[in-house]
Structure 1
Amino acid sequence: MLEAVSNSALLMVLVIFVINIFYVSFLTLRTVAITKGYRYLAAGVSILETFVYVIGLGLVLDNLDQPLNVIAYALGFGVGVLSGLKIEEKLALGYIVVNVTTAERDRDFPNHLRNLGYGVTHGTQWGRDGERTTMQILTPRKYQIKLIDTIKELDEKAFIIAYEPKTINGGFWTKGVSRRKVASYEPENVEEVLEEIYEQEEAEETEQQDIRPDTDGQKKV
């Protein structure tokens, strides 16, 4: 097979291009995993990266004497970087923190988001135009766009800043995020979803009150 590749200039260009895409994709993904603290993922990807390097890249580097091969190598490197970043984007490693400032004080905005499955810390601050509700919201990266769309549905004028934390210490925030709840709704239907949640909570509260023991120690019916 290697002989067939060596004897065909076009096939050699294609092999160099494809191998470099795979190699640089793994290299990029490993680098991103290391910077995000995913040590075991980085170790696993490095095994694949080394496999491609040993099997294929030696062939590539031994055949860079032709201009077309050099061009194929450079193009493969660039496409590999984009490919690696795209894979990491799909994997969506880690969490995103979204800071929100809103003037909506006639609704329980923070609890809306908690009931949808997000981890929320909120408080009150003052801006130029008066009192504002501020929220710091934690979400898995894969749900970042969904969270922002949800906030816009609840308050289209909300001021939003998102950033990726380098370190998260303590488990309260991450345990406060319910991936199942977050994944179970669509932003355009958020009002209906919240209405169903509150109706269910009200029904459960009423049910508990109905079976609560009275002063004689008997259950109410």
Structure 2
Amino acid sequence: MDWLLENALMMIVIILVINIVYVTLFTVRMIFTLKGQRMFAAGVSVIEVIVYIIGLGLVLENLNRIENLIAYAIGYGIGVLVGMKVEEKLALGYITVNVITKEYEPDIPNALRDKGYGVTNWIAYGREGERLMMEILTSRKSETLLYKTVKELDPKAFIISHEPKAFFGGFWVKKIRR
């Protein structure tokens, strides 16, 4: 193992990889924390801190080598990007999507319901008159498919989404409990 650490190029690669892993784990832990997944967050944090200490230790032992500091910084940046990709793939939680269509078209909410979405709809009034307003709760994993479906039903629909902190009762709670 000592020969690996003595080779300057290998040291740079090790520091780079360790920091990519560390920051990715940091991101995943933060996601679990924000989503209330305490046990997963705690488990990931144990691994995260071990990786962090190893990587930082390697850099601090070799502060005289600027390339190690650069590898550490680049690894951090790449770790942020990898962590974001992992977060997209995990897609934990739910989103609420508000859709406003220009014309009142009752077939749009029913078409979405037929695809399994819980839709609450009502008539809203905008600057140019009546609009159809829909509120849809879906899993984050289904987010892209929902947007695609809405755009197929009404290419000019106005769509805005946000993450609900909590929800109780209704269509989704019954479906989740099953």
Q: Same fold (TM over 0.5)?
A: yes
Deviation larger for 47-56 or 115-124? 47-56
Residue 110 of structure 1 aligns with an amino acid whose one-letter code is P
Whole-angstrom distance in 1 between the partners of 2:167 and 2:7 = 56
Shift of 1:14: 0.7
**1:83 is the counterpart of 2:82:** yes
Aligned to 1:92: 91
What SS is found at the alignment partner of 1:30?
A: helix
Q: Contact 2:104–2:123 at 8 Å: present in 1 too? A: no
Given that residues 59 and 69 in structure 2 are in contact (C-alpha distance below 8 angstroms), is that contact kept between their aligned partners in structure 1?
no
Specify every segment of 5 or more residues in structure 2 that has no aligned partner in the other structure, as ranges: none
Give the match for residue 45 of structure 1.
44
Contact 1:29 1:87 in 2 (8 A): yes
User: Is 1:155 the equivalent of 2:157?
Assistant: no
Identity across the alignment (%): 53
Give the distance between the partners of 2:4 and 2:63, measured in 1 at CA. 14
| Separation in structure 2 between the aligned mates of residue 158 and residue 41 of structure 1, nearest angstrom | 38
Greater shift, 106-115 or 127-136, is seen at 106-115
Tell me the equivalent position of 1:174: 172
Q: Which runs of 5+ in 1 are unaligned?
A: 179-221
Q: Distance in 2 between matches of 1:106 and 1:9?
A: 66
* 1:105-116 alignment runs, 5 A limit: 105-116=104-115
- Higher Rg: 1
CA offset at residue 78 of structure 1?
A: 0.6
CA RMSD of aligned residues (A): 1.9
Query: How far off is 1:175 after superposition?
Result: 3.1
Deviation of the 1:176 alpha carbon: 6.0
Could you tell me which amino acid in structure 2 is paired with residue 37 of structure 1? G
The residue identity in structure 1 corresponding to 2:168 is: G
Question: Relative to 1, partners in 2 of residues 1:134 and 1:124: Cα closer, same or farther, differing over 3 Å?
Answer: same
Residue 64 of structure 1 aligns with which residue? 63
Q: CA deviation at 1:102?
A: 1.1
- Higher relative CO (Cα under 8 Å, sequence separation at least 6) belongs to 2
* Structure 2 equivalent of residue 26 of structure 1: 25
CA distance in 2, matches of 1:61, 1:84: 24
Q: Across the two proteins, how many residue pairs are aligned to each other? A: 176
The answer on 1:125 being equivalent to 2:124 is yes
Describe the shift of the 1:150–1:11 C-alpha distance in structure 2 as closer, same or farther (beyond 3 A). Answer: same
Letter in 2 for 1:40: M
Contact 1:104 1:155 in 2 (8 A): no
Q: What amino acid maps onto 1:8 in structure 2? A: N
Distance 1:176 1:155, change over 3 A: farther
Q: Contact 2:105 / 2:132 at 8 angstroms: preserved in 1?
A: no
Is contact 1:98–1:137 with CA below 8 Å preserved after alignment?
A: yes
Moved more, 78-87 or 103-112: 103-112
Q: Provide the TM-score with structure 2 as the length reference.
A: 0.89
